Amino acid sequence: MKIRAERLEDLKEICAVNIAAFEQENEAILVDRLRGIDNTLSFVAEKPEQIVGHIFFSPVTLDGKCPEELMILGLAPLAVLPQYQRRGIGTLLVKHSLEKCTDLGCKAVVVLGSPAYYSRFGFISAKEKGLKCEYQVPDDVFMVLELQNGSLDGCHGTVKYRLEFQECA
Ligand SMILES: CC(C)(COP(=O)(O)OP(=O)(O)OC[C@H]1O[C@@H](n2cnc3c(N)ncnc32)[C@H](O)[C@@H]1OP(=O)(O)O)[C@@H](O)C(=O)NCCC(=O)NCCS
């Protein structure tokens, strides 16, 4: 299994992976709308001749206070083809791409998802770091990971995803 950055020729397959994993088109449409925006990242998990997983990151803003300008990215969506789930592909995608986020200068990553899944990568409830989600969601499903220890010290406020998220909800 190889994890690599998406290429132009992957777009159809990425779309298909998201539709199959989420059983709807919203996430695939979201990725298509966000692609090309500054500081987005997109990686695929590739078996020979087939893309079986995909992960995407886009910039979020913090409506509140932070001592310095920080790059924070939102992880969404993450998708693995149903017939390839529970084989560690999602884990590979997350671990690989978090390293690339760090390389890009990103200081923290937020995610809306299952605490049971994302806690294994070090994500904790964003509330513990003073961050709220703009959407009405239970505290434990909105999580954050500092990519540099203490990078969120002194920050608090509401995290806002790009408008495309509302348009594709
Ligand atoms: C979530 C998803 C990407 C995980 O990918 P994967 O390749 O199956 O994950 P891995 O094989 O690396 O990890 C499997 C582990 O994750 C757990 N897991 C998988 N999906 C989970 C979920 N939705 N909630 C909680 N745990 C989940 C499994 O129980 C398994 O746990 P174990 O290691 O203790 O046995 C995949 O299940 C998927 O595409 N789901 C549909 C789309 C989705 O919900 N995406 C997440 C949006 S935030």
Q: Which two tokens stand for residue 58?
A: 């886009």
Q: Report pTM.
A: 0.96
How does strand 72-80 pair with strand 124-125?
A: unpaired
Identify which of 43, 86, 142 to mutate to test ligand 1's pocket (most ligand atoms within 8 A of the CB).
Answer: 86
What is the Rg, in whole angstroms, of the alpha carbon atoms belonging to the chain? 15
Backbone φ and ψ for 60, nearest 5 degrees, come out as -115, 160
Rounded Cα distance, 103 and 37, in Å: 18
3 state SS of 156:
strand
* pLDDT reported for residue 86: 98
CA 66–ligand 1 middle distance (angstroms): 32
CA 86–ligand 1 middle distance (angstroms): 6
* pLDDT reported for residue 67: 86
Which atom of ligand 1 is nearest the CA belonging to 111?
48
Contacts of 103 (CB under 8 A, 6+ apart): none
Contacts of 113 (CB under 8 A, 6+ apart): 75, 78, 141, 143
Q: Considering only CA atoms, which of 142, 144, 149 is closest in space to residue 122?
A: 144
Q: What is the pLDDT along the chain (169 residues), one digit of tens a residue?
A: 999 999 999 999 999 999 999 999 999 999 999 999 999 999 999 999 999 999 999 999 999 999 888 999 999 999 999 999 999 999 999 999 999 999 999 999 999 999 999 999 999 999 999 999 999 999 999 999 999 999 999 999 999 999 999 999 8
Fold exhibited by the domain 2-167: Aminopeptidase (3.40.630)
> Residues enclosing ligand 1, CB less than 6 A?
21-22, 77-80, 85-91, 113-114, 116-117
For 6, how many CA atoms within 13 A lie in the half-sphere containing its CB? 26
Q: Which two tokens stand for residue 158?
A: 């509401």
